[in-house]
Amino acid sequence: MPENLERILQGCFHPKEGRPNLQKVPVSSERAQQHIDKAHSNLRAMKMMFDGDLFDWTIICGYYAMYHAVLAALYKIGIRATAHYCALAAFKEFYVRRGKVKPEFVTYINRAKQLEQKYSETLDKAQENRVVEQYGVEIITNDDAEWIIEDAKDFVLKIEEVLAS
Distance between CA atoms of 11 and 54, rounded to whole angstroms?
A: 37
Place 110 in a pLDDT band, splitting at 50, 70 and 90: very low
Enter the pTM of the model.
0.77
Q: Report CA-CA distances (Å) from 135 to 41, 50, 60, 79, 86.
A: 22, 18, 11, 29, 21
Enclosing H/E stretch for 80: strand 79-81
In this prediction, residues 14-35 reach a mean pLDDT of 95
CB neighbour class for 73 (10 Å; exposed up to 12, middle 13-18, buried from 19): buried
Distance between CA atoms of 117 and 100, rounded to whole angstroms?
A: 15
Domain boundaries, the chain: 3-164
pLDDT tens track for 62-76: 888 888 988 999 999
Enclosing H/E stretch for 79: strand 79-81
Distance between CA atoms of 81 and 90, rounded to whole angstroms?
A: 9
Which class does domain 3-164 fall in? mainly alpha
Residue 102 predicted with pLDDT over 70: no
Q: Yes or no: say if 67 and 73 are a contact pair by the CB < 8 Å rule.
A: no
pLDDT tens track for 124-138: 677 777 666 666 666
Q: What is the pLDDT at residue 132? A: 63
